[in-house]
Amino acid sequence: MENYTSIDDFHLLPYFLHSKDKSIIFLALLLTYIFGLVWNCLIIIVIYMDPRLHVPLYLFLSNLSLVDICYIMVTIPKLLHMLVTRNISVSRSLCLTQLGFFILVASTEIALLTSMAFDRYVAICKPLHYHCIMNRRRCLLILVLSWVSAAVNATLITSITSITPWSSLRTIHHFFCDLKALAKISSNGLGFQLVLYIESLIIGVLAFAIILMSYVKIFKIVLLITFSDGQRKAFSTCSSHLMVLFMFYGVGVCVYIRPLTQNTEELDQIFSLFYILVTPTLNPLIYSLSNKEVHGALLKIMTRCTRKSSVAF
């Protein structure tokens, strides 16, 4: 069958599409993709199966793993398909759908990371009132608000993008329909860039300010603790979250805060690939390896499965 390309189609152009090492790149992406999906699914299963982990922090963590799964599935399958078939065209509707889902999961992750920072603040600074403040009903309300507000934000940005006039050049120098990459082919690039910066300012910077204030108060309390074991325990409860924050915001700043210049496409794609594949793959590893409770629950379930399989044979 022949491939027909509509005049409304966009053309994705990853910088490594015509690389001589395309098969190696495909294999590396595929293995990382599978590993990220499996490990995030495992975290969700472990938290669901272990009653000791049915607390606010791990409720947020299981949702974070769900978001990371969505991150990977929204973008990577299309990239793998392009590497195999070299079909770089994507319809306008599919491009907007991909953009919408990407903004949805990105906005939800920002809300979840902010909620987890607040949870750590309450646990360390107000330990006697923790179960009253972070009760199950309130946690579920926070999760619902996180997803709903992210959906509203994604709908708003996608709607603005859908009515944006495009230039005659429909080639997107990226491996998915990213907002910054779309801004470069917009006829109203300056206005689109303004939307991008307002989006980053309201969503990212405001959330980061809340996180920063939470950790400033946490560190003040921790420094007042006189015994070293107490300080060590307090820092250990925050270390995983801090590592995820540094990766998420560090790469996010590199991708979206830098100006729209023509000589940064390759760098944007490298940072974006780290942002949507490597970071979601590393997140569950960070939480499972440095968190004793998750680590213990994971070992317990693996031991139980091993015993069942040995009995079956």
- pLDDT 10s per residue in the chain (313 long)? 344 445 568 888 887 777 778 888 889 999 999 999 998 998 898 888 888 888 888 899 899 999 999 989 999 998 898 888 888 888 888 989 999 999 999 999 999 999 999 998 998 888 888 889 888 899 999 999 999 999 998 998 888 888 877 777 778 888 888 888 887 787 765 666 777 677 777 777 788 888 989 889 888 888 777 666 666 766 777 888 888 888 888 887 777 776 655 456 777 788 888 888 888 888 888 877 667 777 777 777 777 766 665 555 5
CATH number at residue 14: 1.20.1070.10
Question: Are 44 and 30 in contact, with CB atoms under 8 Å apart?
Answer: no
Residue 79 CA to residue 86 CA, distance in Å, equals 10
Residue 2: inside a domain:
no
pTM, two decimals, is: 0.86
Question: Are 268 and 174 in contact, with CB atoms under 8 Å apart?
Answer: yes
Residue 163: inside a domain:
yes
Residue 310: inside a domain:
no
Q: How many domains does the chain have?
A: 1
The continuous run of DSSP H or E covering 11 comes out as strand 10-12
Question: Are 161 and 182 in contact, with CB atoms under 8 Å apart?
Answer: yes
- Position 89, amino acid: S
Question: Are 52 and 297 in contact, with CB atoms under 8 Å apart?
Answer: yes
Residue 31 CA to residue 46 CA, distance in Å, equals 22
Residue 136: inside a domain:
yes
Residue 3: inside a domain:
no
Residue 114: inside a domain:
yes
Residue 5: inside a domain:
no
Question: Are 61 and 115 in contact, with CB atoms under 8 Å apart?
Answer: no
Q: For residue 105, what are the domain limits?
A: 10-304
